[in-house]
A = this chain, B = another copy of it.
Amino acid sequence: MEKPLILVTNDDGITAPGLRMLITIMKKIGDVVVVAPDSPQSGMGHAITLDTALFSKKMRIDLDNDDIDEYSCSGTPADCVKLALQELLPKKPDICVSGINHGANSSINVIYSGTMSAAIEAGIEGIPAIGFSLCDYNWDADFTHAQDFIATIVTQALENGIPKRTVLNVNIPKLEKKDIKGIKICRQAKANWKEKFDKRTNPMGKDYYWLTGEFELLDKGEDTDEWALANGYISVVPTQFDLTAHHVIQELNTWSL
């Protein structure tokens, strides 16, 4: 059987340790092509580049991977996927994997996530896609415990196919491998960020703000990604890009419009 073609991308940039680990895992499963941002793009949401041109460069990052094609791209994660599919890949990939993100993309964070925007962009284009994130913001985070789980999820996705117009949002708890209890299919927990701006004044007397905040879980369900992660499971949330709140259409039809 022909090996599957796997597009690997991320939002932390082409040199990020999480991406390098994902490449290593994917090379055991299929033929890998990497198209990733040339600089960190965290918090980029589903941004795309409309006002400037995109540059792309063929790269060689490490000797272990001189057998695969790697490209950096000056754009956002969504741009990387668009450029990969239209210009850089030899054919349509069998799957697109994004990550491994340095930091959680569970619950409401999916909205802000560059990692997931790359996966969603692939999903919009009809490519099976999965975003992987580790609940550890550290650049030196240990990803080794995640390897087998990621391989299993990708293999299952290739075997079963991901349901149409859905991409998977996978989050991995910061635990040792022996403490991970398994993989759980979940829904996105209701949560938000309680923002606090740290207001400062620069040497020229001009005020500026740093965004900080505390995560606030508003959901006691035991079927959520946050519950799974807090209880030692890897969470998998099927994520869609039809944002219609179909269940409220009837109510809105009672308005006097």
Contacts and interface: CB of A to CB of B under 8 A. Distances in A.
Nearest to A248: B163
A56 B209 CA distance: 8
B208 A54 contact: yes
B86 A108 contact: no
A238 interface: yes
A48 B183 CA distance: 30
A135 B169 CA distance: 33
Copies of the chain in the assembly: 2
A175 interface: no
B156 A255 contact: yes
Say whether chain A's binding surface is mostly helix, strand, loop, or mixed: mixed
Contacts of A29: none
Nearest to A169: B243
A249 interface: yes
A209 B245 contact: no
Contacts of A110: 243
Nearest to A39: B51
A87 B212 CA distance: 13
A96 interface: no
Contacts of A15: none
Interface in A73-113: 78-79, 82-83, 85-87, 108, 110-112
25 contacts: A43-B49, A43-B50, A44-B47, A45-B45, A45-B48, A48-B211, A55-B208, A78-B112, A83-B209, A87-B209, A108-B241, A110-B243, A111-B120, A124-B192, A160-B254, A160-B255, A163-B245, A165-B190, A185-B253, A188-B242, A237-B244, A238-B252, A239-B243, A239-B244, A240-B244
Given A236-B257, A241-B243, 10 more contacts: A43-B47, A45-B45, A54-B209, A78-B112, A82-B195, A82-B211, A168-B252, A188-B242, A237-B243, A237-B244
